[in-house]
Amino acid sequence: MTVFAELDIHPMILKSLDQMGFEEATPIQKQVLPIAKTGRDVLGQAQTGTGKTAAFGIPLIEKMEQDARHPQGIVLAPTRELAIQVAEELNKIGRYSNVRCLPIYGGQEIGRQIRGLKKNPQIIVATPGRLQDHMRRKTISLSNINTVVLDEADEMLSMGFVEEIEEILESVPDKRQTLLFSATMPPRLQTILNKHMNNPEQIKVKAKEMTVSNIDQRYVEVQERQKFDTLCRLIDIHSPELAIIFGRTKRRVDELSDALFQRGYEVEGIHGDLPQNKRDKVIQKFKQKRIEILVATDVAARGLDVSGVSHVFNFDLPQDPESYVHRIGRTGRAGKHGMAFSFVTPREKEHINVIEKTTNKKMTVEKAPTLQDASAGRQQQAGEQLLEVVTGGDYADLTEKAEELLESYDAVTLVAAALKTVSKEPTNEVKITLTSEPPVRIKRGSGPKGKGGGGGYRGGNKGGNRSNDRRRSGGGGKDQRRSGGTRPEGKKEFSFSGKRRKK
């Protein structure tokens, strides 16, 4: 075990880390910190949730001149959500060092950001498109930047930010330190490394140390039309604390979140057509556990960092194995155990081998649960709830009523009735039919693996099946997702009957 105090960290930063509850350094922090503090370029290959922000944030903050009246460090992030989260964590780490960090992203009023820049933050965390906007307006100067961090670089490439990243890296001084972090290393990213980094030290968290080792990965072979009932039964059996369900398209997210709501689950969905303020509200509700299930497209979930996600469901398989790694990385964080279920139609079986090679871990085959399995799961949960109340002992005011009931009924009957009261009603009372999505297929041939070098999948429709979510608007910065767009063609086919399941 390596504690932060052993890593020659400034006392003021150690004080912040102690207040944040950080004691033991994660593998990526333990390896990156000593090298980054020397000023050398670093290429870190690790997933989200492994502690990357502190790995680059600690040496970045130590390097900042407190009295300088210009930005000295820039962190590039793929989404506004990640930019905000990184900035928040850096401000916490630097609170006693008089180092301030400002997030810059599309979707926020640019005048507000300009006012923030006039307060002379030492570090800027930005999405590439919005940073370019400020560069053109000359509201941000990169002439004094001594450190550049690229966080989740593979995601920025897959979202189409290659030109923006190139322009930004060419605008900062040649004499600088560059720290790049990425879960995967596609060929296009390697080109950028060769061009813009100076003999970087490569640090790769071993597979056994990566977040996926904390995740129980399973797949269920199921027909498309059986996916929804299978999903509901798995939710009933496992009773996730917080769950994220991934759908391939915006239409799928809309239909799936509506259908789950009709079944009585506390659920909302997010995708790129949802206005940003609405997305923020939904994510906030999820973080506060006011909803238990979030349905999302890949793009909408990028940068989403929520602690306590216990389950991830891949309702549709992702476009490529790298996206699979990012999806399941939403659970199993900070050493906690997580579960990931993937639904695989018979025509998609070939994908499992590709994904297993990427994660270096075999998935467990899960048999599709039956109604009886779901019922047994609900009964098990009801029993556990009842035992929690018994253990808690907060029922003294009910003992008199209990004794009164025992005069008329036997104990087994009363306990069975109590279990029925706290157990969930079966979810098969509302009939749901979702619009079918074509299976993902592997691209044949030995050519390039798509834009950005990311994977070899394509969808069943012509031209591949990239999520229609991957679009950028011009007015609010290229990183701002387009809102109010049209949904993919396809008719909802819901037929509802019966009552809602009570929580």
Q: Which pair of structure tokens corresponds to residue 203?
A: 């640090």
Return d(Cα 397, Cα 19) in angstroms, integer.
Answer: 40
Higher pLDDT, 330 or 445: 330
**Residue 174's pLDDT is what?**
93
Classify residue 160 as left (phi > 0), alpha (psi -120 to 50) or beta: left
With a cut of 90, say whether residue 467 has pLDDT above it.
no
Q: How confident is the model at residue 374 (pLDDT cuts 50, 70, 90)?
A: low
Task: List C-alpha distances in Å: 198 to 40, 146, 169, 188, 346.
Answer: 8, 14, 13, 17, 47
Higher pLDDT, 303 or 409: 409
With a cut of 80, say whether residue 478 has pLDDT above it.
no
Strand (E) or helix (H) holding 179 = strand 177-182
**Residue 483's pLDDT is what?**
34
**Residue 195's pLDDT is what?**
92
The listed range with the strongest mean pLDDT (123-127, 347-351, 380-384) is 123-127
Q: How confident is the model at residue 432 (pLDDT cuts 50, 70, 90)?
A: confident
With a cut of 50, say whether residue 119 has pLDDT above it.
yes
With a cut of 80, say whether residue 139 has pLDDT above it.
yes
Are 272 and 299 in contact by the 8 Å Cβ rule? The answer is: yes
Q: How confident is the model at residue 209 (pLDDT cuts 50, 70, 90)?
A: very low
Residues 6+ apart with CB under 8 A from 44: 28, 31, 32, 52, 55, 56, 179, 180, 181, 182, 203, 204, 205
**Residue 476's pLDDT is what?**
42
With a cut of 70, say whether residue 325 has pLDDT above it.
yes
Q: Classify residue 320 by its DSSP letter.
A: S
**Residue 373's pLDDT is what?**
67
Instruction: Give the range among 35-44, 56-65, 292-301, 393-402 with minimum mean pLDDT.
Output: 393-402
The SS3 call for residue 4 is helix
Q: Which pair of structure tokens corresponds to residue 69?
A: 């009246």
The listed range with the strongest mean pLDDT (299-303, 337-341, 371-375, 405-409) is 337-341
With a cut of 50, say whether residue 243 has pLDDT above it.
yes
Q: Whole-model pTM?
A: 0.55
Q: Per-residue b/e over 5-15, b at no fewer than 16 CB within 10 Å?
A: eeeebeebbbe
Q: Which pair of structure tokens corresponds to residue 490?
A: 């396809």
Are 439 and 460 in contact by the 8 Å Cβ rule? The answer is: yes
Domains, the chain, with CATH or none: 4-205 (3.40.50.300), 207-397+424-503 (3.40.50.300)
Q: How confident is the model at residue 451 (pLDDT cuts 50, 70, 90)?
A: very low
**Residue 277's pLDDT is what?**
84
Pairing mode, strands 311-314 and 243-246: parallel
